Amino acid sequence: MKIMCVIGTRPEAIKMAPVVNAFKKCDDFDVCVLATAQHRDLLDQAFSLFNIKADYDLNIMQPGQTLPELTSRLIVGIDKILTEAKPNLVIGQGDTTTVFVTALACFYQKIPFAHLEAGLRTHDLYSPFPEEANRVLAGNLARLHFSPTEVSKSNLLREGMNPKNIFVTGNTVIDALLTTAEKDFPLEVTIPKEKRMVLVTSHRRENFGQPIINICKAILELVNKYSDIIVVFPVHPNPNIRKAVDEYLLNNERIKLVSPFDYGPFVSAMKKSYIILTDSGGVQEEAPALGKPVLVLRRDTERPEAVTEGVVKLIGTEQNDIIAEVSNLLDDVDAYNAMAKGASPYGDGKSSKRIVEIVRDYFLQVNR
């Protein structure tokens, strides 16, 4: 049976890598990888750590790409590869334009599509934009849904999906995290022992413009207020983020603006950090498993499980709110310890093995 795994961006590569490697270990399957390269540099970075090689590479990324341009290049490119490779099942991950278009291209060719990280919802089609729509659309075109949690499964059931096609597998990000976290990777920044590291990431479209400016101003004020913190900010290559960050945060010796870390060093940076400030989806899943408090620079989340556990908090993007919430964790040890207790509601590190077994059963039934 030929399985095609389609990967476009950094988080898809990290979360799909354990699945590709699990299928590779299994003689029943012939697995191939289609890299759309919606992200070029970030994808190559993640592939090299996990030793993934693309069998097909569309090399789609263009600087400052718009959603319509990206969508049209992807649909034509993916369709051609499907025609050539003729997979029996295609797997896509998450909520990017790559995954939505992959599901659509499979639908046009009547090839079954399996959705990894299925059923995450904020229930607001415009937030996050365009990811909520991407995952709803991909989910509606999917034959198999691999949901990370019971919450995500229940979202799909509410939308009328067939329960027989939904499997709670955990999130494969925890598979990637646990194997990577075993090792300590050197960081390009040195953090003196007496300083507390605040790790920051931001890339979300709804934070372009005033929100990212607010985030930068809050960081500046926090660094002025606390002499014992060092901010480490691996800046996403999206020009909308990079421009604002450079404008407000350059040339401060306690704000380390660095290029995106490879996944290994990023996991080590999470382990070393005191607090994590982020709008990332993946980081909301990983950091709790490492016992690190996460303050989310958004008003809503499709990942409510860790918020319910009390280890992730939604704080929005108002400058004063960010300053107040970070200060609270820096000043109040009890508040800090309550959030740093650690929890892993998104997985146990065995999700990709489960997925291989489910796919095996699926083909047994189809061939019967």
> Which residues are catalytic, by number?
95, 117, 131, 203, 205, 236
Name the minimum Å distance from CB 316 to ligand UD1. Answer: 18
Binding residue (CB under 6 A) for ligand UDP from 8, 282, 345, 349: 282
Q: Which residue number, 138 or 230, has a Cβ lying nearer to ligand UD1?
A: 138
Q: Which residues contact 197 (CB under 8 A, 6 or more apart)?
A: 191, 229, 230, 231, 232, 269, 272, 273, 274
Work out what residue 38 binds among ligand UDP, ligand UD1, none; the CB cut-off runs from 5 to 8 Å by kind: ligand UD1
Work out what residue 40 binds among ligand UDP, ligand UD1, none; the CB cut-off runs from 5 to 8 Å by kind: ligand UD1
Q: Which residues contact 324 (CB under 8 A, 6 or more apart)?
A: none
Instruction: Pick the closest to residue 89 from 111, 115, 120, 59 (CA basis).
Output: 111
Q: Is the Cβ–Cβ distance between 199 and 268 less than 8 Å? A: no
Q: Which residue number, 29 or 284, has a Cβ lying nearer to ligand UD1?
A: 284
Instruction: Pick the closest to residue 284 from 136, 119, 173 (CA basis).
Output: 173
Would you give the DSSP letter of residue 61? -
Work out what residue 316 binds among ligand UD1, ligand UDP, none; the CB cut-off runs from 5 to 8 Å by kind: none
Instruction: Kindly write down the DSSP assignment for every residue of 89-130, as one continuous string.
Output: EEEEETTSHHHHHHHHHHHHHT--EEEESTT---S-TTSSTT
- Decide if residue 60 touches ligand UDP (CB under 6 A): no
Q: Which residue number, 111 or 249, has a Cβ lying nearer to ligand UDP?
A: 249
Q: Is residue 40 packed enough to be buried (19+ CB in 10 Å), middle (13-18) or exposed (0-12)?
A: middle
- Angle between helical axes of 281-289 and 10-24 (0-180°, round to 10): 60
Tokens of residue 212, six digits: 């990212």
- Decide if residue 263 touches ligand UDP (CB under 6 A): yes
- Decide if residue 295 touches ligand UDP (CB under 6 A): no
Strands in 275-278's sheet, in edge-to-edge order, are: 255-258, 229-234, 196-201, 275-278, 294-296, 312-314
Work out what residue 201 binds among ligand UD1, ligand UDP, none; the CB cut-off runs from 5 to 8 Å by kind: ligand UDP
Radius of gyration of the chain (CA): 20
- Decide if residue 266 touches ligand UDP (CB under 6 A): yes
Footprint on residues 169-208 left by ligand UDP (CB under 6 A): 173, 201, 203
Name the minimum Å distance from CB 1 to ligand UDP. Answer: 29
Work out what residue 74 binds among ligand UDP, ligand UD1, none; the CB cut-off runs from 5 to 8 Å by kind: none
Neighbours of 151 (CB within 10 A): 18
Name the minimum Å distance from CB 25 to ligand UDP. Answer: 22
- Decide if residue 100 touches ligand UDP (CB under 6 A): no
Question: What's the rounded Cα separation, in Å, for the pair 346 and 284?
Answer: 10
Q: Which residue number, 19 or 212, has a Cβ lying nearer to ligand UD1?
A: 212
Question: What's the rounded Cα separation, in Å, for the pair 290 and 273?
Answer: 10
Q: Which residue number, 145 or 298, has a Cβ lying nearer to ligand UD1?
A: 298
- Decide if residue 347 touches ligand UDP (CB under 6 A): no
- Decide if residue 286 touches ligand UDP (CB under 6 A): yes
Binding residue (CB under 6 A) for ligand UDP from 4, 7, 14, 249: 14
Residues that bind ligand UD1 (CB under 6 A): 9-11, 38-42, 61-65, 70, 95-97, 130-131, 203, 237-239
Residues contributing to the site for ligand UDP (CB under 6 A): 10-11, 14, 173, 201, 203, 234, 260-261, 263, 266, 280-283, 286
